[in-house]
Amino acid sequence: MSNLSRGKYAQFISDRSGQAFPYSEMVIEWNGARVHTSEFEAKHPQLDPKPTTADGQGLRNARPQIFTLASGGGGGIAVDLSLPAPFSFSSQGMVPDDGSIINSKRESRISLGTVEITGVVDSVSVTPTPVTSSLSLNSVTTTTTAVTVYAVTVANPGSGNKYYIDGVQQDTLSLTIGSTYRFDQSNASNDNHPLRFSTTSGGTHSGGTEYTTGVTTSGIPGQAGAYTQITVDASAPSTLYYYCTNHSGMGGQINIT
């Protein structure tokens, strides 16, 4: 550090950059360095030590651990560091228990009895038996039933209202025995057009009857969630027909395979 002149024109060499600045604009940092105000850096908080407080676990004999001591040969001391019972090994040495025993603790076991129904449903007797079923959590089997959904709408192509299945007018469908099919009638055009099945073309409008085996319905046609669903039974005929219960000439044919 050195003065370059005196009075109001005095300049000072910065301890950081080595450049000359007006002496009146120089400041002293926390480490004693004289720098220009544009170079000033405050002391970082990490440079200040944190206050030291007593650590209860670090005090002498704060939590003394009692070992079982046994004298050894040559004046040595052997310390027994055996783990408590819940954490110890049942075998000698550092050898784990039998793996099959450990794995059995991870299984869920369910005991079932025998249910015998006699006469009407109101009379049920349960006879306990020593039947045991084991359920392994490592192998879980779930069964799902796939449902094929057909979007049903109603429109008038010029010859009266007709059902449109996935956009196809009075489409001829092929259903498979054992499969489930849902005819979604949530579209507003289905209002007052309930879809049903029959073994007769035209259904009840042609003297036939409604086919109900495996058929379920839900909601009101034309409103959200409305549908007619069928799970094709093994006894189903080779041909069914879908029709509107309120209007004739709207439906089509279903082939069963």
The CATH number given to whatever domain includes residue 213 is 2.60.40.420
Structure-model confidence comparison of residues 54 and 127, the more confident one: 54
Q: Domain range spanning residue 31?
A: 9-43
> What pLDDT band is residue 240 in, cutting at 50, 70 and 90?
very high
Does 213 score more than 50 pLDDT? yes
Q: Is residue 218 part of a domain?
A: yes
More confident residue, 78 or 181: 181
Q: Is 217 a domain residue?
A: yes
- Residue 114, pLDDT > 80, answer no
pLDDT for 136 equals 46
> Residue 256 is inside which H or E element, if any?
strand 252-256
- Please state the domain count of the chain: 2
Q: Is residue 219 part of a domain?
A: yes
Q: Which of 7, 5, 3, 26 is nearest to 16 (CA)?
A: 26
| Mean pLDDT along residues 34-59 | 77
Q: Does any domain span residue 67?
A: no
pTM over 0.85: no
Res. 109 pLDDT band, cuts 50 70 90: low
Whether 121 is covered by a domain: the verdict is no
pLDDT tens digits, one per residue of 189-205: 999 999 999 999 989 99
The sign of the CA dihedral 81, 82, 88, 93 is positive
CA 128 vs. chain centroid, Å, equals 38
CA atoms of 206 and 217, how far apart (whole Å) = 22
Q: Is residue 241 part of a domain?
A: yes
Please determine, for residue 60, whether its predicted confidence score (pLDDT) is greater than 50: yes
Does residue 220 lie in a domain region? yes
What is the pLDDT averaged over residues 216-229? 93
- Is 155 part of a structural domain of the chain? yes
Measured from the Cβ of residue 228, the count of other Cβ atoms closer than 10 Å reads 22
| Encoded tokens for 196 | 């049903």
Q: What is the DSSP letter of 175?
A: E
Burial of 211 by CB count in 10 Å (0-12 exposed, 13-18 middle, 19+ buried)? buried
Distance (Å, whole) CA 163 – CA 253: 11
